[in-house]
Amino acid sequence: MAKNLDWDNLGFAYREIDYRVVARYTEGAWSDLQIITDPSVHMSECAAVLQYSQTVFEGLKAYRTEDGRLVTFRPDMNAQRLMDSADRLVMPKVPEEMFVKAVDMLVKANADWVPPYGTGGTLYIRPFIFGNGPTISIHPAPEFEFRVIGMPVGPYFKNGMKPIVIKVSDRDRAAAHGTGDIKAGLNYAMSLYPGEQAVAEGFAENMYLDSATRTYVEETGGANFLFVTKDGTIVTPKSDSILPSITRRSLMYVAENILGMKVEHRPVPFEEVSEFAEAGVCGTAAVICPIGKINDHGKEICIPSGMDAAGPVIQKLYDTLTGIQMGTIEGPEGWVHEVK
């Protein structure tokens, strides 16, 4: 029985649901996965996550298909990225099989919390690993916890895609050769201040440039850029300090192999941005959100697709990928994972 929630007005917020899945890493090995009800974490006041931000995370969604199945989208990719993230912060890796099993256990246990088909809502899933043991000298934690939590969230767009206005930030999200390419909580701590500033000034997001030369486009605080040239080529910025978005890589694959479009993953000079026909940001939450304007220190770059709706290429990409996710368009083998 589905819970009695106002499914159409969920928004994006934490909500405590019945179950979470945890495993603990002590003496060199992960415990078995456990389903628990306690929504609080118990840890040392000197835990490595509190003192030195030793934590990495993932984000993915579970949803219902029209025929009532519970599915997730490419969870193996999230598993791989969490391993890369953990490795970079000297944390134990959660093997792919264990990761996918934990996500499946969470979704199955909380099936009543997955929004019904047709509401556009999903169960947002947040797997994370954190250093949990007293750590005062600068070393990795002695113990770790892997926890997978979930919460029902509403659709990102309620009445069609709405273009956003963003600004070019004078601050940096990630250093060259730093941790920008892993999903670490510390990267988000870095972008809180400029993010709040942008919102206070009336912008939806920041465009971060490369920290070394400030001449190339990187990404926003939590989504990758995707541009469309006037002759219809998809261009996405390439840099070692951009987080490799699974949505962006899926869209590129769809564009090239299903829609027969030309795609380029390469460094994108900021100077080139005013020449594009369409622009957007992509990530799990919205899939794609179109950009209408980019404010560069008071100078507006107006994207030709405008402020009323997404451009035709971005709309097509969005429709195709969401169609694959919902099962109405046949996608590549293995992209839609059924929770059993």
Ligand X SMILES: *Cc1c(COP(=O)(O)O)cnc(C)c1O
Binding site for ligand X (CB under 6 A): 59, 183, 219, 222-224, 243, 245-248, 283-284
Alpha helices in the chain (DSSP H): 48-52, 75-88, 96-109, 185-200, 246-257, 312-326
Q: Which residues pair with 29 in a beta bridge?
A: 26
- Closest to ligand X by CB, 43 or 151: 151
- Closest to ligand X by CB, 59 or 142: 59
- Closest to ligand X by CB, 243 or 303: 243
Least distance between ligand X and beta carbon 88 (Å):
14
Least distance between ligand X and beta carbon 136 (Å):
29
Least distance between ligand X and beta carbon 309 (Å):
22
- Closest to ligand X by CB, 211 or 247: 247
- In angstroms, the Cα distances linking 81 to 58, 94, 96, 244, 251 are 8, 10, 10, 8, 17
Distance of CA 297 to the CA centre of its chain: 28
CB 263 within 8 A of CB 255: yes
- Closest to ligand X by CB, 119 or 245: 245
Least distance between ligand X and beta carbon 125 (Å):
11
> Largest Cα–Cα distance of the chain, in whole Å?
57
Cα first-last separation, the chain: 17
The CA distance from 190 to 220, in Å, is 12
CB 229 within 8 A of CB 274: no
- Closest to ligand X by CB, 118 or 267: 267
CA nearest 128: which of 108, 164, 102, 152? 102
CA nearest 236: which of 260, 256, 257? 256
- Closest to ligand X by CB, 46 or 192: 192
Least distance between ligand X and beta carbon 9 (Å):
24
CA nearest 39: which of 58, 21, 61? 21
Least distance between ligand X and beta carbon 230 (Å):
26
Least distance between ligand X and beta carbon 82 (Å):
11
The CA distance from 239 to 84, in Å, is 16
